[in-house]
Chain A
């Protein structure tokens, strides 16, 4: 065979392989509103940047006549490419080939690209669309999952890992996304669960649809397993590209800096957002937009535990992670879910050298038997742990209420915030005036001729004396009291001078956070 024939032969082989499961299977995939694995990769990556690996890998099943079957690429496409010019490793399971089921060779392709990502120190994107383990390959399929989980764990905090759920992802398969940093889901397309509706029905007699059990909405609102909700695959891909603009390639680098841009102050005027009465709500995301570059805030887990807001933005061109109490929802209290949500995000930012900005306005912890029994002690402790452990620059702005344990937890100086400032509207106290007066003056109020009047008077006295930032300022627990409009310049300065922050941490293998 001459070179011409050889190259014609290569082209023919490639044509065969890239067909995936064939025309019929592709039609079926499209009929359900889904893109093919190859289309997905092309949509996420920069034009013509995809370089495929292992196109000709053969599956390794031998039992149940599997050796007679040809499975193109063994149901997964892997390779490298770029997103906005930044390199990434990527894999996409191909549902048109044996239902995207995971066999040994399929897993080996994935682990190979994962090892590649670790060696090159570049991010990894996994697109999940698979019926699960390839039962015909038995324990080898399980081994494949285990190898992936191990690598996910080793890579955690070293390279960014994101998972996109674009089809079923059930049983053991769900644990790879769960181990990665961010999970993207799409309405009507994503389905994640450990045991499906059929098993639940046969074992427990309870009926539920796939969508209600583990659809996109469920994982964004109720379980918190997913971080980004989209109504279409295209929307999901633009979210991924947006995310990549805020994060670095690996834990030894910093996120890309952008040209400095001011906030849209006409639309978001900080003085007009906050009601002075600490009992009145507002949307804290408007405050973030009034502070950050171009008023562009990229929120994470918008629909889960909305009483705390987390996400990325830029200040003077530098990527920062915002953590903010949300008075609009549940008065911005800390509870099981919000502590868990914020703590994980803090650890993410710390791992990837992204400074943290904390905006404080909370009445404390959510009271309730359900909260106590759900382990608010353990989950609440995650927040203390994550803030204390983080060594990236930590800047805290106390806007209004910072009562009790909530004051400590929201990145106070005591947890080693580098800069803490408060607005004149701040109330930094052991608890709210009403509660404090009722405890301190309990006997006097009880024995008074007119208890209500005395209570009101005592509350007022307490308010005047303690409901301000100056008591904490007198002890040096806050560094400065600033006007709200000075917040951005305070943050810009704080970030500038924290550039070479270094912290000595005690020698240890790893801590034992209250997981």
Chain B
């Protein structure tokens, strides 16, 4: 059932849910926006993902090699800009999931550290 059907009184039967606020359960209708909110995910510093969709233009690192915080990892070209991705951490590269020329989506996993 859509929230807006309730608002515009297009439906007779309203489906109520409960909402807990400060230990009190309220009977109410939940909105689409509220129900589709994404659960929070803690950012994993060992997983490098694409912050924007684009194309991989260069990979500077190799699997098994050590990198230091601030080292260049790869170039991700998006919106005609070449973005250099720098390592947020020091560690050993466990796997590289992309190669030169690959198109990547937003939030796609690119590199994993051990």
Binding site for B on A (CB under 8 A): 203-206, 221-222, 278-281, 302-303, 306-307, 327-333, 337, 363-364, 366-370, 373, 403-404, 431-435, 438
Q: Does B24 contact A (CB under 8 A)?
A: yes
Known: A205-B105, A307-B31, A363-B24. A331 touches B3 (CB 8 A): no
Q: Are A221 and B106 in contact (CB under 8 A)?
A: no
Contact B4 A364 (CB under 8 A): no
Contact A281–B28 (Cβ < 8 Å): yes
CA distance A296 to B19 in the complex (A): 31
Given A222-B33, A368-B37, the answer on whether A432 and B23 have CB atoms closer than 8 Å is yes
Instruction: Determine if A330 and B30 form an interchain contact, defined as CB atoms under 8 angstroms apart.
Output: yes
Top 5 closest pairs, chain A to chain B, by CB: A435-B22, A331-B26, A434-B23, A331-B28, A369-B40
Contact of B16 among A203, A204, A281, A364 (CB under 8 A): A281
Chain B interface residues toward A at CB < 8 A: 3-4, 6-8, 14, 16, 19, 21-34, 37-38, 40, 52-53, 78-79, 103, 105-106
- The answer to whether A280 and B40 touch across the interface, beta carbons within 8 angstroms, is no
How many angstroms from the CA of A432 to the CA of B23 in the assembled complex?
8
Establish whether residues A438 and B23, one from each chain, have CB atoms under 8 Å apart when the complex forms: yes
- Given contacts A221-B4, A303-B7, A368-B37, whether A280 and B27 have CB atoms under 8 Å apart is yes
Asked if B21 contacts A363 (CB within 8 A), the reply is yes
Select which of A203, A205, A306, A434 is within 8 A of B22 by beta carbon. A434
* A279, A302, A307, A364: the one within 8 Å of B27 (CB): A279
Q: Is the CB of B8 within 8 A of A363?
A: no
Residues from chain B with Cβ under 8 Å of A328 in the complex: 6, 14, 28-29
**How far in angstroms is the closest Cβ of chain B from A288?**
14
Q: Can you name 14 extra interface pairs (CB under 8 A) apart from A303-B7, A329-B28?
A: A205-B53, A302-B7, A327-B26, A327-B28, A328-B14, A329-B3, A330-B29, A330-B34, A331-B21, A332-B28, A366-B21, A432-B24, A433-B24, A434-B23
Question: With A and B bound together, what is the CA distance between A332 and B26 in angstroms?
Answer: 10
| Least distance between A42 CB and chain B CB atoms (Å) | 29
A366 contacts across to B, CB distance below 8 A: 21, 34
A–B complex contacts, Cβ < 8 Å, 19 sampled: A203-B78, A280-B27, A281-B27, A306-B7, A327-B26, A329-B6, A329-B28, A330-B31, A331-B19, A332-B28, A333-B21, A364-B21, A364-B22, A366-B21, A366-B34, A404-B22, A432-B22, A432-B24, A435-B23
- Give the distance in Å from the alpha carbon of A329 to the alpha carbon of B28 in the complex: 6
A332 → B minimal CB distance (Å): 8
Knowing A222-B33, A329-B6, A438-B23 touch, does A370 contact B28 (C-beta < 8 A)? no
By a CB distance below 8 angstroms, the chain B residues around A331 are: 19, 21, 26, 28
Chain B CB within 10 Å — which of A221, A278, A366 has the most? Answer: A221
Q: Name the A residues within 8 Å of B52 (CB-CB).
A: 204
